[in-house]
Each structure stands twice: as C-alpha cells, then as structure tokens.
Amino acid sequence: MRRSAEHLSTPRQDHGEGTRRGAGRPRAARLRTRTSVLAASAVLVAAGATDALRGTAHAAPAARVDNPYAGAGVYVNPEWSAKAAAEPGGGKVAGQPTGVWLDRIAAIGGTGGSMGLRGHLDTALRQAAGRPLVVQLVVYNLPGRDCAALASNGELGPTDIDAYKTRYIDPVAAVLADPKYASLRIVTTVEIDSLPNLVTNTGGRATATPQCDAMLANGNYVKGVGYALNKLGAVPNVYNYVDAGHHGWIGWDDNFGASARVLHQAATAEGSTVDKVHGFITNTANYSALKEENFALGDSVAGRSVRESKWVDWNRYADELSFAQAFRQEAVRAGFRPDLGMLIDTSRNGWGGSARPSGPGPRTHVDAYVDAGRYDRRLHVGNWCNQAGAGLGERPRTAPAAGIDAYVWMKPPGESDGSSSAIPNDEGKGFDRMCDPAYEGNPRNNHHRSGALPGAPLSGHWFSAQFRELLKNAHPAV
C-alpha cells in the first residue's frame, strides 16, 4: 500500500475530547460500550476451528446502530488465522479479527482455492451463533489504482470505470444484499490510497505523477468511490468507512482540508450522499504510531519548536490518534454528518521490542529530542513498504477513545505490502522501488533508505519473516 509524505506549513494538535461522535446530535440509544471486538466464542486458532462454530444462517435482519462494533464480535478470517497459527508463537494472535481484501474481481468468487465473498459471509454466520457480528471488507479495485506507486497497481486501467461498476461493485453489492446475510454488520473500508492522491500527487506538486494527473482529469477515482458508496450504502446492514490516509501523508496544512473536500466530492458523486458514509478509517495498512508519548508538538528544545524537527517537518500531527480525531472534525466542516465515527488500523503500528524508547530524547537539539524519543522507528514517515522493526499494535477493540469507533486490524499482519524485486504475476501488480531495501532514490522521503524488509513477496501474499518480526515487536507485547 503506498503512502506519500507531502507537506508544508503550520501548528495545532486537536485531541477532540467530548462526545464520541459529534457533540449535540441526539440519538435514541447511543451505544458506547467498550466491550472487546473479540468475544471469546469468536477466537479461532486455526482454520478448522471455524467448523466447530454453529449458528443459524437466516437470523433476523440487524438493526441499524450508531457504532457497528459496539456489543458485537468481529469475524475471524480462518484462512489468515491458519497462516498466523502456523508461525512460531502465532497462535497467540491467530484469533484476532482482520479485514478481508477484495482486491480484484476474481476475489469475489475466490481465487486459487481461497474463499470468496460468500464463503467468508457463510463462515461469519456460523461464527455469529446468534449474536451480532461485524465482517470487515476492504473494497479495493479502482480503475488506475494506486496512481502514485506500483506495488499495488490493479487489474483495471485508468478508463475502466464501467468495468469497475458492473463487474466489481455491482456483484459485491448483490452478494451483500442477499437476505441470508442481513443479520451481519458489514463494515467496508472503501478504496484506500485513492482520493488523497488527487490532492498530494497532482498538478504542480513536486510529488505529482502522470498517472495521478490522469485520474484527476478523468474523474474516475471520484466517480468510482461515489458509485461504490451509493451501491454498497443502499444495503441496510452495510457501514461504509472511506479511507482518509494517515497523519504522515495528510497532516500538513495544504493536504488536510483539501483531502476532506475531495472526500466530500466523492461522497456526493454518482448518486451517493453523505448519508452513505458512516465514517472514515486512517492508517490503513500503514505504520504510523497510535500515540507518541515522549514528545508533544507544543514542546520547545533550545528555543526551537518540535514542529521544526526533521521528523515532524511542520506537520500539525505527530501520531494517528490526534490526526484521526481532528480529521473527523474537519470532515464535518466539509459537509459530512456530525455523527461520523473513525477507525484506526493498528495492525502494524506497535513499534515495541528492544528499540522502543522509554522516555524523551536529550534536550541538546530538537532533532535529538524527537528522534530518540519517538516510538515510530521508520527512517522517514513516508516509508510505507514492509517496514523493518515494526510490531503488532493495539489489539482490536471498540470505542477506545473520543470519536473512535474501533481500533481494527484491517491489514492482516503478515501480508506483504509489495515485492522486494520484480516478480512476474497475473494480478496487475508492479515492482515499486520503495519495497527494495537498498533503495534511497526517492525525493519524497528525502532520499532515505526505504526501510523495507528483504525477501518480500507480492502485495497481499504471506510474508513469514515480516509476521515473525511483527510478533516479536508487538506493543502491547503478546
């Protein structure tokens, strides 16, 4: 999954304290439970454990709720669970819920012996066993996908908007609308890495690419997302969360408000309305630390603001929680509903292990202060591919902070971000040098090394070495 760090400008960190989903919007019944998204009966340690779960396949339709994760279990993908359990020590986390990625048309029916969408939903009905259950889907197949990178390019060309609608979104919506699945709470993460690219990687920006300029000009990202929101949001038990990047991409002044406005444009395109957007998700498949506790943007060192440090680089946010809470408020200002909820992907942002700092750095220089104290140990905040030293983050849980519906593992830990070298494939995925451990030629990350692990397979494929490192560096520890 690509992530670009593009920036400029000035201050403020907003922690968004107050009511969870927009002050003052009355609800007949606000569900604010902090129950874990993993109920004990949903814990699986291997694929075979799923067969032991029995429930009715035709439960009553689920009532629409404020927070779909409240009072519910979350689907454990038995295929991911089996891979995790097969790794040394992996059984300790193999029962965690992760997202199911629909990253090409063939994934709807299932590819290479893998389960298709109906297979996952049928398994979810058995796991539900009569209680509320969330199923997390990643909708990820826009035409001209990933216009600013190569590792997760897709199968559809920049002008294939009709194929996206009729061969991808329409079939997904038809499956989700089957009354058989009406009792499930289906959470969709809609098209990561797409709309913010239209802000950060187009026009006169130093980071502009011809591919992103083409997608801005033809409008197919906006049309595609609008169509997806409209069709999927018409299913009563679907909750759409649109990808909103992460703080190390969107947190600068020239990106922040502009991204919210582009998201609103898409949410009101192709017949969609803001009512089809339940919320936003940040840090999807990325590594940004949830909370940086050893420094704050208001700190000064030797007369210099932390925001002047090379790491922060005038960003208004130092971590993902503050960014997500502030972005929710910015989205409301852009025209979205005031009861929006946010999700944060914490699957790989723990940054634990022996390299995790125990306190602030020295006050000799602002860079030393930040670099020695920050949890995020990447060489640059724009590095995004298979990052060395990363660890599993906070376990999935419900309503963990103001404005946040849940911490989730939308990116299944152990699935690669992209191959370390060129690999011929029939999935439309290219080779991105940001996945090459030796690469240091990207001006977007100030020519730092990519920080990628060696030996990585194609994006979405199992990467055992990465999973083992994530397990070792988990924070909280496993």
Residues catalogued as catalytic = 193, 417
Using CA atoms, how far apart are residues 402 and 321, in angstroms rounded to an integer? 10
Phi and psi, residue 172, nearest 5°: -65, -45
Nearest to 259 by CA among 201, 184, 188, 338: 201
Nearest to 285 by CA among 355, 344, 366: 344
CA torsion sign, 460 to 462 to 464 to 469?
A: positive
CA torsion sign, 399 to 405 to 407 to 408?
A: positive
Q: Which helix (H) or strand (E) holds 460?
A: none
What torsion, rounded to 10 degrees, do the Cα atoms 112, 117, 120, 121 define?
A: -160
Using CA atoms, how far apart are residues 297 and 314, in angstroms rounded to an integer? 9
Q: Is 426 exposed, middle or buried (0-12, 13-18, 19+ CB in 10 A)?
A: exposed
Tokens read off for 325: 């809470």
CA torsion sign, 176 to 179 to 180 to 181?
A: positive
Using CA atoms, how far apart are residues 291 and 148, in angstroms rounded to an integer? 27
Which residue carries 């109906």 as its tokens? 118
Are 224 and 158 contacting, i.e. CB atoms less than 8 angstroms apart? no
Tell me the three-class secondary structure of 252-278, residue by residue.
CHHHHHHHHHHHHHHHCCCCCCHHHCC
